[in-house]
Amino acid sequence: GENVEQHPSTLSVQEGDSAVIKCTYSDSASNYFPWYKQELGKRPQLIIDIRSNVGEKKDQRIAVTLNKTAKHFSLHITETQPEDSAVYFCAATDSWGKFQFGAGTQVVVTP
């Protein structure tokens, strides 16, 4: 089955700087890669997703890049703000459409 690895596990950035989280996956048939943000005590919320036929997608301060050949994808957050502090999970769907999540990255944005 699919195996998703996510790095780093924690990321501390100064407000205004950029944050980058990287994930790799194992199933070459995976074709949907969502990113979820989970604030403490709340449910995960989708922030951006990308499909395998696209190399990059951007939504305001958030962007995701996908390299299918290398089987890795990354989340980029620019101009970070304190409200960006949360745990971020990447995921990949395997051949059966099951979501497999990465281990998560705790992002802390310091003022």
Partner 1 sequence: GAVVSQHPSWVICKSGTSVKIECRSLDFQATTMFWYRQFPKQSLMLMATSNEGSKATYEQGVEKDKFLINHASLTLSTLTVTSAHPEDSSFYICSAQGQMNTEAFFGQGTRLTVV
Residues that bind partner 1 (CB under 8 A): 31-32, 34, 36, 42-46, 49, 51, 89, 93, 96-104, 106
3-state SS track over 26-55: CCCCCCEEEEEEECCCCCCEEEEEEECCCC
Maximum C-alpha span of the chain: 43
User: Rounded to the nearest whole angstrom, what is the least distance from the CB of residue 36 to partner 1 in the complex?
Assistant: 8
Q: Which is nearer to partner 1, 18 or 95 (CB)?
A: 95
Q: Which is nearer to partner 1, 44 or 64 (CB)?
A: 44
Smallest distance from the beta carbon of 98 to partner 1, in angstroms? Answer: 5
| Shortest Å, Cβ 103 to partner 1 | 5
> Dihedral angle at the C-alpha atoms of 51, 5, 104, 45, nearest 10 degrees?
20
